[in-house]
Amino acid sequence: MTMRGESIQLTATPVFETSGTRPNLKDDLLVVGRALGTRWKLILSIVLMALVAGIAVMWIATPTYRSSVDILVDPRARTLVGMDVVPAGLGSSSYGSDTALVDSQLQLVQSRAVLAAVVTKLGLDAAAPPPPSLFATLSGLGKIILYGPHKSDLDTGTPLDKAITGLQSTLKVERLGNTYVLRVTAAAKSATGAADIANAIAETYLAQSQAAIDKETTDTSRALEDRLAQLKQTTDAAQQALERYRTDNGLVDVQGLMVDEQQLRDLNDEATKANIAAAAAQASFDEIERLKGQPAAQLAASNSLSSTTADAIRAQLNTAYADEISLSGLYGPNHPTLVQAKKRRAAVEQALMQEFRRIETRAASELKTAQSNAAALQVLLQQAESRRATSNEASIKLGELKTAADNAKSIYDAFALRAAQTREQINLPTNTARIIAAAEPSATPSDPKLPVVLGIAAAFGILFGTGTAWLLHLLF
């Protein structure tokens, strides 16, 4: 190459790559160890300062206490009157009582309704707000940077809403294993405050559960009472229509039967009795007619002569027969004593014949009377059957009205019984959940924990100290 008339000569010298060992992990660790070891005092100082800062946090931080209350949600129904309006116990679902239903109780315990009642009861919304923490301050600054003039829109909310939100953030509700026990854990700045909050949540949950049952029972009772009043009007109207139709058509009940039907039944009974009496009178008269013209001895042996006089004459005739037979063996046929005995016997026979004629006349009269009664009752029976035939259509309509009235009365009675049972169930303790272990004030705070704070401080000090030492090694 020539420059400004001068020549420059460049000579290339060959370069040979020398072989050597590359750095390995052991060497790197030795380098790091030497770098940190030479500055161990700095690392130790930073760790000690971090521990001192942790102890300062323990001194400054407000302790938090936690208390727990255990609630047993018994799945078994608690039946008091046998026909509860609201079923007690957990009941059942398509997922089973151990899953969805128990989880529902978990949500009810920490629901807004329960927490709002606890906040109001304990006055948590009226308590003075705690001083803002470092995190809260940084969070507020971040909101100012991000939202600017609209930051105030994020801070809206009543003291009650803020108290509920704060309570929700410190509340823990869990199910203990596969049991029916729910544990409610509350946190507060004082031991008694945490216990009061936990117990208040449990008591409010139980009270609201019972109040829900009472409200549903009361609403059901009111609905039944309203329906009962309507049914009463329907029943009265049906009964009035029945009585009005019955009166207009002369269809009056007598011991559950219509008048025509009762008359027909009575006439049937009386006609049957009259026919039987006529048949008996005819048989008696025929027997007397058969004995007509028979000698006195045969008349005396017959039972057809049924009268007191005939019985007395029969006894006298038997005595006369006995005397005559006895005297005929002692005296001759013309003896005055035997003749006198025959006259007495003939007189008695004459008296018996006269009684027979009287009985014959009486039997004929009784037969005529019985036949007349039977015939008259038969005429009345035919007339009653005719009236019954003409009233069948009215009876059918009456039966329909009576069925409608009876159905309305049955429905009314059923509703009246159910309404009375429902009224008796109001304010009865049917809730199956109960507190099995009330919350007690804790003797020691749960937060902050000294081992945790010191552990975090020591870890931070070690990381910050080693990082500082390594940075100085790289710089110098």
Beta bridge partner(s), residue 173: 184
- Contacts of 151 by beta carbon, 8 Å cutoff, 6+ apart: 143, 144
Instruction: Count Cβ atoms below 10 Å from residue 357 Cβ, excluding itself.
Output: 12
What is the pLDDT at residue 18? 45
Give ∠ CA 293-294-295 in degrees, rounded to 5: 120
> Average pLDDT, stretch 212-224?
83
Q: What are phi and psi of 358, to 5 degrees?
A: -65, -40
Which residue, chain included where needed, has tokens 């151990």? 98
pLDDT per position as a tens digit, 287-321: 777 777 777 666 666 666 667 777 777 777 778 77
Is the separation of the CB atoms in 398 and 249 below 8 Å? yes
| Listed range (38-42, 196-200, 202-206) with the worst mean pLDDT | 38-42
Confidence (pTM): 0.52
Banded pLDDT at 243 (limits 50, 70, 90): confident
Instruction: With a cut of 80, say whether residue 86 has pLDDT above it.
Output: no
Q: Please say whether the beta carbons of 353 and 299 come within 8 A.
A: yes
- Using alpha carbons, select from 249, 290, 274 the residue that is nearest to residue 387: 249
Q: Which residues pair with 71 in a beta bridge?
A: 182, 435
3-class state of residue 90 by DSSP = coil
Sign of CA dihedral 279, 283, 284, 288: positive
Per-residue confidence band for 461, with pLDDT thresholds at 50, 70 and 90:
confident
Q: Which pair of structure tokens corresponds to residue 48?
A: 């000690």
Structure-derived torsion over alpha carbons of residues 341, 347, 350, 351, reported in degrees to the nearest 10: -120
Please tell me which residue, 154 or 228, carries the higher pLDDT value: 228
Render 276-336 in DSSP notation, one character per residue: HHHHHHHHHHHHHHHHTT--HHHHHH-S---SHHHHHHHHHHHHHHHHHHHHHTTS-TT-H
Q: Check residues 149 and 231 and name the one with the higher pLDDT.
A: 231
- Please, which residues bridge with residue 258 across strands? 253
The position carrying tokens 């006198």 is 340
CA distance 476 to 471: 9
DSSP 213: H
pLDDT in tens, 379-433: 887 877 776 666 666 667 777 888 888 898 888 888 888 888 777 777 666 677 8
Give the per-residue pLDDT at 155.
Answer: 57
Distance CA 455, CA 447 (A): 14
Question: Given a cut of 60, is residue 216 above it in pLDDT?
Answer: yes
- Tokens standing for residue 352: 């018996």
Average pLDDT on 160-169 reads 85
For 7-37, the pLDDT digits (tens) are 444 444 444 444 445 667 777 778 777 777 7
pLDDT one-digit tens code per residue, 248-287:
766 665 444 556 667 778 888 888 888 888 888 888 777 7
Residues 120-139 have a mean pLDDT of: 63
Q: What pLDDT, on a 0 to 100 scale, did the predictor assign at position 363?
A: 80
Residue 1 confidence class, pLDDT cut points 50, 70, 90: very low
| pLDDT value of residue 390 | 62
C-alpha 345/C-alpha 356 separation (Å) is 16
Rounded distance, CA 232 to CA 65, Å?
A: 62
First to last CA, the chain: 45
- Please give the residue that has the higher pLDDT: either 65 or 313: 65
Listed in sequence order, the residues at least 6 apart from 425 whose beta carbon sits closer than 8 Å to its beta carbon are 80, 81, 84, 85, 217
User: What is residue 259's predicted lDDT score, i.e. its pLDDT?
Assistant: 63
In this predicted structure, the answer to whether residue 473 has a pLDDT above a threshold of 60 is yes
Confidence of residue 199 (pLDDT cuts 50, 70, 90): very high
Q: At what angle do helices 336-390 and 259-291 cross, to 10 degrees?
A: 160
Q: Is residue 74 within 8 Å of residue 102, measured between CB atoms? A: no
Using omega within 30 degrees of 0 as the cis cutoff, is the peptide bond preceding 131 cis?
A: no
How do beta strands 2-3 and 6-7 pair? antiparallel
pLDDT in tens, 423-439: 777 766 667 788 888 88
Q: 12 burial class (0-12, 13-18, 19+ CB within 10 angstroms)?
A: exposed
| Mean pLDDT confidence for 118-146 | 66
Mean pLDDT of the chain: 76
Quick one: average pLDDT of 351-368? 80
Contacts of 430 (CB under 8 A, 6+ apart): 78, 80, 84, 86, 88, 210, 213
Give the span between the Cα atoms of 167 and 164, in whole angstroms. 5
